[in-house]
A = this chain, B = another copy of it.
Amino acid sequence: MSAPTTQPANDADRSAVFTTGDWGLANRSELSPLRFLERSAAVFGDREAIVYGERTYSYAEFADEVQRLARVLRATIAPGDRVAYLTPNIPEMLIAHFAVPLAGGVLVALNSRLAGPELVYILNHSGATALYFDAEFRHTVAAIAGQLPELATVIEITDPEFGPTPGPVDASGIPGLVAYADHLAAADDLDPTPLPWTVGDENTVISINYTSGTTGKPKGVMYTHRGAYLNSFGETFHNQFTGTTRYLWTLPMFHCNGWCTPWAVTAAAGTHICLRAVRADAVWDAIDDLGATHMCGAPTVCTTIVGSPRAHRVDRPLRITTAGAPPSPTVIGHLEAIGITVVHVYGLTEVYGPYTICEYQQAWDDLAPDERAAKLSRQGVGMLQAENARVVERDRVPLVDVAADGETMGEIVLRGNNVMAGYFQNPEATAEAFAGGWFHSGDLGVMHPDGYIQLKDRAKDIIISGGENISTVEVEQALVSHDAVLDVAVIGVPDEKWGERPRAYVLVRQGESLSKDDLIAHARRLLAGYKVPRDIVFAEDLPRTPTGKVLKFELRQEATQS
């Protein structure tokens, strides 16, 4: 698991012997996910590429729409311009993942649950010259349109699946707003030669994804064509995507470009099932009626599925890949009980989504359910397209691995083709993130003797109480294992005696009742005394990021203000 300590033996100048010359494209293609749609449209043109409400697109239609939009975009933007999208997981967002880079643009997929000032910051920081938004967000866009000096093109997408029609665009209050259909119609007057599904240099930036920025300003994470291509191949391998895959879009495409899955499912010529919002009913409709085989999401997606009254046993392969927070053994158990396979991965925006995967070991078959679930809740090992992950001592360069004992906590660091090109126009933050030649995740974890990493906490979420580190994740998993608990979030709050103490916000399952004493007694059976929270708040709901992560800083703010 440690870094190489010697130079590769095969690193030598051999140009004298191996004259290979420059043969242009004859023996080199620049890696780009654009190739995936080119191929699937050429080979499987009739196959269902996208299903959404009343709409379906074959692969030929998908590619045609992409070419059409790219033609218009190319006439609208300069190469390298940022093109922002503010939409749910609708077909237009999938189309954008190919059309924007095909036109030479850089896709900036915006988190649709951000507030106006956050959107203004990101649009201005990225310097986006074009914005495409779903009509649902007309009011949001109208409110900020005056604060976006670089924005030259604003396009509204009207989705028949979205209930209220927002009225004609000239009544929108957004200067120069054009309807998507009219915008696309301009393609008819342009050179119809298809744009080549290639890029001049595989290290070209394909997209910028802004971190959700729970603290500080959002940073723009740059992905490249090469990185997106290799990650897509890895996703395809690890998810076993094939031409019969039917991928349900429970994961927002604005989150790490949906972990590169818009490209990966297209590579396999599988079918995308779009989804406007992750509601339990819609998800079960897709499972029961549309034959969904794969989906991804934060643990909250898992909770939504098993918590639905429509939850039932699924008698065909169905796989949920989950990340964003360690899934609790309890939730894993519930999903497996109804025949759903849970694959646990770990990553961040800076690593194109997933980087590690909790690879299943056959020997775990023989473990007791609890032990097995504990193994499955670990973050695992580097994926095939990635490198190994390391856990290193904090704030120390050169990097020093912590003991692989499953106990010693350190920072998780990652490296290689899975790692971003850098933060957009922020070389200082990039330099800091890459200190010592590895990307610093800011996540704290341990390395187990078998080479699997386990996340213990975000650096900023760790509680230091009486000099002892308390992992909020560990406390949360103990509490959620109580049958009456639906979900929980633990934070540190100031404490005169101990410095900090853990406080738990607890959601009780509908129809259940639970006392503080019962829950404390349950936790005492699982945790060391100093980790057991005495400070328990029964809550109605928890503040969350759009991807389902609990916004602990909001809880902390509330706690310090109260």
Task: List A residues at the B interface (Cβ < 8 Å).
Answer: 1, 4-12, 14, 17-21, 23-29, 31, 35-36, 38-39, 42-44, 46-47, 70, 74, 78-80, 101-105, 127, 193, 195-201, 203-205, 222, 227, 230, 233, 236-237, 240, 242, 267-268, 359, 361-363, 381-382, 384-385, 387-388, 415-417, 419-422, 424-425, 427, 430, 434, 437-439, 451
Query: Which of B4, B9, B240 meets A103, CB within 8 Å?
Result: B9
Question: Is the CB–CB distance between A384 and B39 below 8 Å?
Answer: yes
Question: Is the CB–CB distance between A14 and B381 below 8 Å?
Answer: no
Q: Nearest-CB distance from A558 to chain B (Å)?
A: 37
How far apart are the CA atoms of A273 and B388 in the complex, in Å? 28
Question: Is the CB–CB distance between B102 and A10 below 8 Å?
Answer: yes
Which B residues lie within 8 Å of A421 (CB)? 18, 20, 27
Which B residues lie within 8 Å of A9 (CB)? 70, 74, 79, 102-104, 195
Listed from nearest, the 7 A-B pairs whose CB atoms lie closest are A11-B200, A4-B196, A12-B79, A29-B416, A10-B104, A14-B80, A9-B104
Nearest residue (CB) in B for A35 is B387
Which B residues lie within 8 Å of A28 (CB)? 416-417
14 pairs, A vs B, C-beta closer than 8 Å: A1-B42, A6-B195, A10-B102, A10-B105, A18-B80, A20-B205, A20-B421, A26-B419, A31-B230, A42-B388, A43-B359, A43-B381, A233-B237, A237-B268
How far apart are the CA atoms of A204 and B17 in the complex, in Å? 11
Question: Is the CB–CB distance between A222 and B20 below 8 Å?
Answer: yes
Question: Is the CB–CB distance between A27 and B434 below 8 Å?
Answer: yes
Query: Which of B11, B80, B104, B359 meets A17, CB within 8 Å?
Result: B80
Nearest residue (CB) in B for A74 is B9
Which B residues lie within 8 Å of A103 (CB)? 9-10
Known A70-B9, A104-B8: A39·B382 in contact at CB below 8 Å: yes
Nearest residue (CB) in B for A439 is B26
Which B residues lie within 8 Å of A434 (CB)? 23, 26-27
Known A19-B425, A43-B381, A417-B29: A204·B14 in contact at CB below 8 Å: yes
Which B residues lie within 8 Å of A230 (CB)? 31
Which B residues lie within 8 Å of A39 (CB)? 381-382, 384, 388
How far apart are the CA atoms of A390 and B4 in the complex, in Å? 43
How far apart are the CA atoms of A339 and B372 in the complex, in Å? 37
Which B residues lie within 8 Å of A237 (CB)? 233, 236-237, 267-268
Question: Is the CB–CB distance between B7 and A200 below 8 Å?
Answer: yes
Nearest residue (CB) in B for A127 is B17
How far apart are the CA atoms of A420 and B26 in the complex, in Å? 9
Q: Nearest-CB distance from A249 to chain B (Å)?
A: 22
Which B residues lie within 8 Å of A101 (CB)? 10
How far apart are the CA atoms of A252 and B308 in the complex, in Å? 54
Q: Nearest-CB distance from A130 to chain B (Å)?
A: 14
How far apart are the CA atoms of A230 and B78 in the complex, in Å? 32
Nearest residue (CB) in B for A234 is B233
Q: Nearest-CB distance from A424 to chain B (Å)?
A: 7
Which B residues lie within 8 Å of A198 (CB)? 4, 8
